[in-house]
C-alpha cells in the first residue's frame, strides 16, 4: 500500500481546519476498609473527590473505625464474593482518606482506569478519568497515566474520595428478562466464554453523566449462577454501530484484553466520507491527544510527538467505491485503538465521516438528499483468537439501517471485494 502521513485530500471538497494544536506505603483505606475490593464494573454517579482536611480534622479522618458492636460483622469482612458485599465494601472505602491498594494477580494487565472501576463501582467512569488526568493517582509512588497497565503487586495510591451513595436502579425480573431478550436479539456470536454483539447506533457501551441505558448495565441480566457478570473488553463510541466483543468469564476477559493489547485482534470498519481521497490506499500516522472543548465535550486533536497526553495512532484505509466524486466508501483498519481514532484520522486527511458531529469540518458542504445526518461508521468485522482454543473467531456485522439506506441510494455493493484485507497489520 502507498504510504502517506497526511493522506492529502484529492478531488473531494475543500476542508477547513481539522484540529487545534495542541498529567511509605499506607493501608487500604485504614483498618475499617481493608479488603475493600469490588469485582463488578457497574457504575453510579459521584460528586467528585473531596479535599484533604488540614489539622485536627484530617487526623480525625485517619482514626480507625470504632469496634463493631456484638453481632455486627467488621468492615474488613466485606470482601469480594457477592455483589452486595462488594458494594458495601466500596462504600466503606469511599468515605476514608488517602489509601493504597495492592494489585491482585488476577488484576494484572488491567488498565488503571478499569482497575478503579472494578474497585469502586459507585464512581462514574468520567470521574475516575478526571482524577487520573489531574495526576492525583500514583503507581509505586510515580504519577500514573489513564491507560497505564498494572502489574501484580504494584501499589496504587488513591486520593481521598467522597461519594454520596446513589442507590442503583432496582432490577426486577421483568427488566432482566427484557434486557436479556434484547441482548439475545443483537447477538452475532456466542459460546461459553465469548459474546459478540451487533451494537446499534445510539446505544452507549458504558454509563456516564445522563446515560442510564447502556450495554454494561444490560449485562447485569446475564449474570451466571456464580454471580459472574459478562465484562467489556473494548469499547465503541455511542454512535458507532457493529461488532462489540464481550467476555463472559474473568479468564476470557484477561485473555481477550491481552489480544487487543498485543494487536492480535484484527478490526475492519466501514465509513462513508466526504470527497474522494487522491491516494486511494494509504496509511495515516499521527499523534492524538485529548482536548477539552469549551462546552465540556472532549475531542481528540492531532498532536506532536512529546506533547502531554499524546499517543501514537496508525490507521490504514482503502477506497472501496465512490459516488460522483462527492462521497467515498472507505474501509478502515486501525492498527492502534485510540479514542475517536478513525473519526479524527479521516478528518485529518480532509475527508471526515458523514454525520460526525465532532469532527465533520468541510466548508459549504450540503448533505445529499436521502442520506441521514447520522454517523456513518460501522465496526464491520472482527477476527480475534478464542481465549481457550486460540482458533480465530471471525464475526461480521450488517450495515445499520441508516447506512444501508445510504448504500442502496448510492448503489454500493456490499458483496464486492474489500481491498483493506491486504493492508499490513502494523
The residues carrying an active-site annotation are: 237
Distance CA 110, CA 104 (A): 10
Residues 332, 342 contacting (CB under 8 angstroms) = yes
Burial environment of residue 260 by CB neighbours within 10 A (0 to 12, 13 to 18, 19 or more): middle
Take residue 324 and report the three cell numbers written for it.
Answer: 460522483
Distance CA 199, CA 404 (A): 15
Take residue 47 and report the three cell numbers written for it.
Answer: 460528586
Distance CA 19, CA 5 (A): 15
Distance CA 304, CA 236 (A): 25
Q: How many residues does the chain have?
A: 426
* DSSP-assigned beta bridge partners for residue 321: 329
Biggest CA–CA distance in the chain, Å, is 80
* DSSP state letter for 113: H
Number of other CB atoms surrounding residue 78 within 10 Å: 25
Q: Where are the alpha helices (DSSP H) in 111-266?
A: 112-119, 125-133, 173-185, 215-218, 250-261
Distance CA 359, CA 271 (A): 14
In the sheet with 142-143, reading across from the earlier edge strand, the strands are 99-102, 155-158, 138-139, 142-143
Amino acid at each position: 500500500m502507498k504510504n502517506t502521513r497526511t493522506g492529502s485530500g484529492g478531488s473531494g471538497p475543500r476542508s477547513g481546519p481539522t484540529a487545534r494544536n495542541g498529567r511509605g506505603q499506607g493501608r487500604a483505606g485504614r483498618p475499617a476498609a481493608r479488603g475493600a475490593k469490588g469485582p463488578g464494573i457497574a457504575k453510579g454517579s459521584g460528586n467528585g473527590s473531596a479535599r484533604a482536611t488540614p489539622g485536627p480534622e484530617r487526623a480525625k479522618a485517619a482514626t480507625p473505625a470504632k469496634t463493631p458492636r456484638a453481632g455486627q460483622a467488621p468492615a474488613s469482612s466485606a470482601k469480594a464474593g457477592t455483589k452486595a458485599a462488594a458494594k458495601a465494601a466500596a462504600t466503606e472505602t469511599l468515605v476514608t482518606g488517602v489509601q493504597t491498594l495492592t494489585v491482585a494477580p488476577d488484576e494484572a494487565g488491567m488498565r488503571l482506569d478499569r482497575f478503579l472501576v472494578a474497585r469502586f463501582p459507585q464512581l462514574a467512569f468520567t470521574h475516575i478519568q478526571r482524577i487520573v488526568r489531574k495526576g492525583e493517582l500514583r503507581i509505586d509512588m510515580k504519577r500514573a497515566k489513564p491507560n497505564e497497565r498494572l502489574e501484580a503487586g504494584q501499589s496504587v495510591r488513591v486520593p481521598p474520595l467522597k461519594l454520596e451513595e446513589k442507590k442503583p436502579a432496582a432490577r426486577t425480573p421483568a427488566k432482566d428478562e427484557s434486557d436479556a431478550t434484547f441482548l439475545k436479539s443483537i447477538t452475532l456470536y456466542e459460546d461459553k466464554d465469548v459474546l459478540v454483539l451487533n451494537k446499534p447506533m445510539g446505544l452507549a457501551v458504558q454509563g456516564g453523566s445522563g446515560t442510564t441505558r447502556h450495554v454494561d448495565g444490560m449485562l447485569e441480566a446475564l449474570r451466571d449462577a456464580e454471580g459472574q457478570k459478562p465484562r467489556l473488553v473494548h469499547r465503541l463510541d455511542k454512535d458507532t454501530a457493529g461488532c462489540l466483543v464481550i467476555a463472559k468469564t474473568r479468564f476470557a476477559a484477561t485473555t481477550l484484553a491481552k489480544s487487543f493489547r498485543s494487536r492480535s485482534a484484527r478490526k475492519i470498519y466501514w465509513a462513508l466520507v466526504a470527497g474522494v481521497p487522491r491516494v486511494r490506499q494509504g496509511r495515516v500516522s499521527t499523534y492524538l491527544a485529548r482536548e477539552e472543548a469549551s462546552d465540556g465535550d472532549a475531542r481528540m486533536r492531532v498532536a506532536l510527538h512529546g506533547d502531554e497526553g499524546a499517543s501514537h495512532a496508525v490507521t490504514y484505509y482503502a477506497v472501496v467505491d465512490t459516488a460522483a466524486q462527492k462521497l467515498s466508501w472507505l474501509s478502515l483498519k486501525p492498527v492502534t485503538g485510540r479514542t475517536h481514532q478513525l473519526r479524527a484520522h479521516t478528518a485529518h486527511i480532509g475527508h471526515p465521516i458523514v454525520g460526525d458531529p465532532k469532527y465533520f469540518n468541510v466548508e459549504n458542504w450540503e448533505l445529499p438528499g436521502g442520506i441521514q445526518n447520522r454517523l456513518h461508521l460501522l465496526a464491520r468485522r472482527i477476527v480475534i483468537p478464542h481465549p481457550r482454543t486460540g482458533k480465530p473467531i471471525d464475526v461480521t456485522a450488517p450495515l445499520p439501517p441508516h447506512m444501508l439506506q445510504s448504500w442502496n441510494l448510492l448503489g454500493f455493493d456490499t458483496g464486492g471485494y474489500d481491498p483493506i484485507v491486504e493492508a499490513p497489520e502494523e
